[in-house]
Structure 1
């Protein structure tokens, strides 16, 4: 066979091979990044640093987080859902639903059938009936054969729709940041049939310091350093295992933090008859329900008049942009403090006098001080990208896509965050 004929034959064989590979190439181009070792989606680790305001990273106290951002994607800010509180927004992140839609409408709430819920009440927190208006991502993952592990995340202690994550631990504030990291690494060391493909990790020192001392305090700065050291421990552990470049990591927070100076308290005693109402919540967002036989319309008419440092609405008249007020667990009357103020009663203030500047969140989610953190790193993400601000409901469809899972009905928009992924992962 002469050289020309051999060349033509080789061209023909290469064409056949290319045609055979076209379906595979096309499938890969539209699929999330996958672990080359076992053809499953690359593992995804979702990390929350509670209370980490979006601009804290610019203080230069989080070098490990900043390194992930430089080598990945950072959002200028991520807007929390209203109210900008811990439990509602953590559940939004893993369901893609706003609090009014997923049912965890506040850290403290009442339900006509279930009674009272408070984030410090272990019995209520672990009762799945509070949580089952939505399907968190770990349940969808388990239903599709993907193992899950949660190192603290609101909702993971509850039996939701009959399921827990495959590996989980009840919240214990005494577990140190390093111990939390070590547990995640231990789960990643499990044999292949038990190793989780979706994991969560939760840090809370930054939030605690912000509440107790205010966001501009030395204590917050120290909490930033300490949490970043734990993150560095995680990064080093992943690198030793050869996982750092093989898994996707998303670091978020639930909300920011605003300074509350001494004396910035609105007391309700002179504004409405407290003996005729039930004060369901106070603080930044006060929730008020009527007691039987009360002329609540008259009370509402008075409270909806302009007030210094506070605005009140009947739940049916909450501004549309807040996407809040339709869920039965939302109290009938809502009063929202201006950023830097809180709402209380005289009796509570006597029992808990404010002794210095502190911090709060829960305010209007459009306030820049409530802006949350978003950093992403891994094989699916572009490198060195600063992304425009986006709402936190978009994180859920992004994660579902990365894991190759069908997203449940949600309020997010994957199209708004798709461009942070490399083309092959879109």
Structure 2
């Protein structure tokens, strides 16, 4: 176990999710924010995301704490991520109730042709610029309605997306251990009632890092699952020790993980090498093509179809399956591109000379079940010993708003009725 944890720490220090440059580890506090008297009487909710925690990991690796807490509360057979099943799009979906095509984070890296600028998840300037993010995050909803919120490194939490940052937050870094993060949450809950956050979002990257570097079926990933499970156990125990009786927990992930065929990757079609005609964006499990001359789209599509093999599909974006919500008519920010090349799992696209990882995600969760995510919830607001069917992750947002008594004041894709059955009231 000790060797495994040493490897994990090495992995996390190298992860591509870490933002560029030196990051201050100090907490940022927005001054002069207080809970209203009405907010002080409302429940507390801690929303925990463990990146890459596949829907079956809890049983597969015997995550004792999570299995026990979810048996005392609610558990979904799986949660369906938005497409593509990638980190930034799905964390922002969970926090806004919108599909990736509707909130604008359609990938971890993309280009916006309207603003003539690129977004990269590991660029702090991008990550903290709220103009890239559509929708109203739950912390913004809470703050607008007189409820103090806090976040430990959730996607977008250091930005002014929706108009307001959480009252308490940290710029993204990976220097805190899971146990240190737990202690920071407890410190927030020890604050005076008028300053104590009622909505807390907490992010753990460790399981995703292990899945990428070692694969989902390895001792290293098992160790990462146990590391987070231990931290969840510490969190629940320390919350209980505070004597707060109205704290509920929602445990989610953004996507799953699969071992890919990194030894025989697919080549980028030769036609796309002409940069005068095309831009392409390769997340390896999805290749998005932007054709610079719109009149050429159909011709290029036919050429790419003629080149394709049985290892990938070619779609005009407007012809993508409707259930993915990733078609041209869904693309509110015009960031997707007109043609999509989608490899069949476990195949990936890889440019010559580029490296990849053992484990990947991003595939269609309907066709690749390893992409499915986790949902568990427990505490005084939730029913006990309840297992529910699979559902789309957009529906977490209205559930949390309902628990906290927050009024949703703009359109979302999620529906409260989907998860209403999980609540006691």
Give the shorter-chain TM-score range.
Answer: 0.7 to 0.9
Q: Which residue of 1 aligns with 2:379?
A: 378
Aligned length: 379
Q: Which residue of 2 aligns with 1:57?
A: 58
8 A Cα contact 1:109 1:329, kept in partner:
yes
Q: Give how far 1:387 is off.
A: 1.1
- Aligned-residue CA RMSD in angstroms? 1.9
Q: Give how far 1:39 is off.
A: 6.5
Write the distance in 2 (CA, Å) between the matches of 1:98 and 1:125.
19
Write the distance in 2 (CA, Å) between the matches of 1:236 and 1:310.
48
Distance 1:96 1:182, change over 3 A: same
Q: Give how far 1:365 is off.
A: 2.2
Q: Give how far 1:299 is off.
A: 2.0
Matches within 5 A, 1:217-232: 217-232=218-233
Q: Give how far 1:80 is off.
A: 0.6
8 A Cα contact 1:269 1:345, kept in partner:
no
Q: Give how far 1:330 is off.
A: 0.9
The answer to whether the aligner puts 1:263 opposite 2:269 as a matched pair is no
Counterpart among 331, 335, 343 of residue 329 in structure 1: 335
Q: Which residue of 2 aligns with 1:339?
A: 345
Q: Give how far 1:272 is off.
A: 3.8
Q: Which residue of 1 aligns with 2:195?
A: 194
- Report SS of the residue matched to 2:284: coil
8 A Cα contact 1:156 1:164, kept in partner:
yes
Q: Which residue of 2 aligns with 1:95?
A: 96
8 A Cα contact 2:262 2:347, kept in partner:
no
Write the distance in 2 (CA, Å) between the matches of 1:372 and 1:121.
26
Q: Give how far 1:292 is off.
A: 5.8
- Report SS of the residue matched to 2:287: strand
8 A Cα contact 1:128 1:161, kept in partner:
yes
- Report SS of the residue matched to 1:344: coil
Matches within 5 A, 1:22-421: 40-111=41-112, 112-113=114-115, 115-131=117-133, 133-243=134-244, 245-270=245-270, 272-275=272-275, 276-291=277-292, 295-305=296-306, 306-326=308-328, 327=331, 328-346=334-352, 350-352=353-355, 358-366=358-366, 367-407=368-408, 408-421=410-423
Distance 1:361 1:293, change over 3 A: closer
Q: Which moved more, 1:263-272 or 1:186-195?
A: 263-272
Q: Which moved more, 1:190-199 or 1:357-366?
A: 357-366
Write the distance in 1 (CA, Å) between the matches of 2:386 and 2:121.
36
Distance 1:351 1:79, change over 3 A: closer
User: Quick check: which has more Rg, 1 or 2?
Assistant: 1
- Report SS of the residue matched to 1:313: strand
Q: Give how far 1:294 is off.
A: 8.9
- Report SS of the residue matched to 1:343: coil
8 A Cα contact 2:286 2:342, kept in partner:
yes
Write the distance in 2 (CA, Å) between the matches of 1:223 and 1:399.
27
Q: Give how far 1:246 is off.
A: 2.1
Unaligned runs of 5+ in 2: 1-37
TM-score, reference length from structure 2 = 0.85
Q: Give how far 1:230 is off.
A: 1.2
Q: Which moved more, 1:390-399 or 1:310-319?
A: 310-319
8 A Cα contact 1:53 1:369, kept in partner:
yes
8 A Cα contact 1:272 1:303, kept in partner:
no
Q: Which residue of 1 aligns with 2:12?
A: none
Q: 4+ residue runs of structure 1 moved beyond 6 angstroms?
A: none
8 A Cα contact 1:264 1:340, kept in partner:
no
Q: Give how far 1:290 is off.
A: 2.6
Q: Give how far 1:418 is off.
A: 1.0
Write the distance in 2 (CA, Å) between the matches of 1:79 and 1:249.
19
Unaligned runs of 5+ in 1: 1-36
